[in-house]
Structure 1
Amino acid sequence: MEDTSLDHGLLRKGRAYAKTGQLGPITVSPGRIAAVAESDYDTVVRVEQLTDAAWERFLDQVAAKAGHIAALLDRDMPHDLVEAAQDAAVPLLPAVGDLEPECSCPDWGHPCAHAAALCYQVSWLLDADPFVLLLMRGRGQDELIEALQQRDTPEARPAGIPAAEAFALGTPPLPGPPPHDVVFTPPALEPDPGGDPGDPGIGPGIDLAVLGVLAASAASRARELLLSGRLPRLTEYQDRVRLAAEHGLDLGLEAAVQAWRYGGADGLDVLETPWTPPRQDLARARARLEAGWESEEPPPVQAWRNRWTLGRLQLRYGRDGRWYPFTERDGGWWPAGPPERDPSAAVHERWQPDR
């Protein structure tokens, strides 16, 4: 919408309408979003629906990983699922030409301020529930879940047998002993000098507190793997920062730990590595920043690569498509909060003009 609009003033006005609740209840249906705006104007934005063939390709991508299904049911749209769908020629997010706004108001803008407000509010709904996006593209939650249940997921391929039959089989015999030439010798453990003489302890050179941290970390990573179906591969440094962030360890990595807590590996990358984003990403972000300043002129921006400096505030664009806020501290820039898709949202909460 922002790429095709010819009047950014209307976009700015539409964002103001959206933030101040100038629209009535929003109705989302396949290929259509609608609301009643001020003065009882009927506002509709039609969305291009996916074809049956595109839906089949999308369902194949979802069913390929159990973690994708679990994430959707948890109202989360995994980033790698969006990329996989894009690779399968299924553009989930509407692109140029996929939106057609209509409104009964006399404004000739394309879109008018009311249709822009409707799009902004629906974009916020998409962040909370990906099924809104899928419904706009043509299929609702129940229909999708039913279609997924009829698919053969990798985890469901072993047929198994009914529970009653399994219990009727009884307990199978234990395997026989190992061959005589296989000898297992447990490691020697030394008793704790200050403990019970009958307690062998945990052996020399093992810090029990560190062992507890590592066990908790392994459990956390296992849970992440079960929920998402994937686990990012970390460098030794990234894993050290992760452990410090998750378990409150003092490893002299304060800024890195704060970056990890706000954005994980992506937040750490934004802290430490400048890069040059695509021009269209920066142009779209610049338009959003300007549109988000309804009542005054936006602050001047000093731009360098993926970093925008606005006085004592700096925004850094991550490779994950989000803007990370930083504030000036002790002569450097420190992570100041969680990232936002919209740069104006990251600015408004922290903006303080230079004095």
Structure 2
Amino acid sequence: MDFWYQRAGWRAWLLLPLTGLFWLISALRRQLFAQGLKKAYRPPLPVIVVGNLSVGGNGKTPVVLALAEYLQQAGLKPGLIARGYGAKGPFPALVAEDSPATQVGDEARLLVKRSGLPMAVGGDRRAAIELLLAQHQLDVIICDDGLQHYALARDIEIVVMDGQRLLGNGYLLPSGPLREGPWRLDGVDFVVVNGKDAAAGQFAMGLTQSLPRRVKDDAPLDWQVLGDEVSAAAGIGNPGRFFDSLGQRGLKLKQTLAFADHHGFGPEDFKGVEGPLVMTEKDAVKCQAFAADHWYYVPVEAAFTPDLRQAVLDTLRSRHGL
């Protein structure tokens, strides 16, 4: 919703009664866990939650991948869990590289495809973790999203923010994009800002693009294969960021197709699209079965500073001795 990222106006104010209800329910739930009236599950190994305050794409998935790679380099064995947003299940479920995105979720399919790490998905994070631990010996769990899932105890919280949109108009849902108020940033361990200089106490991150690949078979290609003019499609939280990144590479966009985050793609979404089509990697995992030869995707990787990587590892070791 565009008005979430503009100065608050009548549309945001009109939704304030619903925002008040959202605040009341979320605050009550949070207090139930804080007071011990509802018990959080604490797994037998440390948990790192990588999440957002706002809805929509902030670059969280590349952060999870980069963090998992760094922990492996440090000699640890990470496993991944996620809710499996938009997936049909059944849950909990282990995720394989060839798991249908419709069953496990597009982000989960992408995470396993890129990392090769063990992963389980399901709204019940406890059940997902227990399924994962029944199959694998692990040292640490990385939870993709779940900052507001207080039923899962966690040892480190990392919030990822879009450097262009930040916290939007600062309102809670549905008047604004926030799941919790800005005050929540004071209680997390690390705040990572994607695509903009970070404020004091925060960490800057950028996304670097790899060479494009063909959607239907993942074949690596060169940028010259795309030519000078392409169509672009994105079903992510901030499609404009992806379109801008292609323009910055000198590509002329003759057509842009923006869809809602986690959109379930089908061939009908691309009727009338001619010539090369470029999409995100998260969208490509849902289009591989019906992709044309001239459809491509662009992998991205998170690049954040060594001090953040070391700070996460130091925190993990100080709290758990790993």
**TM-score, length-scaled by structure 2:** 0.27
TM-score by length of 1: 0.25
Q: Structure with the greater relative contact order (CA < 8 A, sep ≥ 6): 1 or 2?
A: 2
More helix by share: 1
Rg bigger for which structure?
1
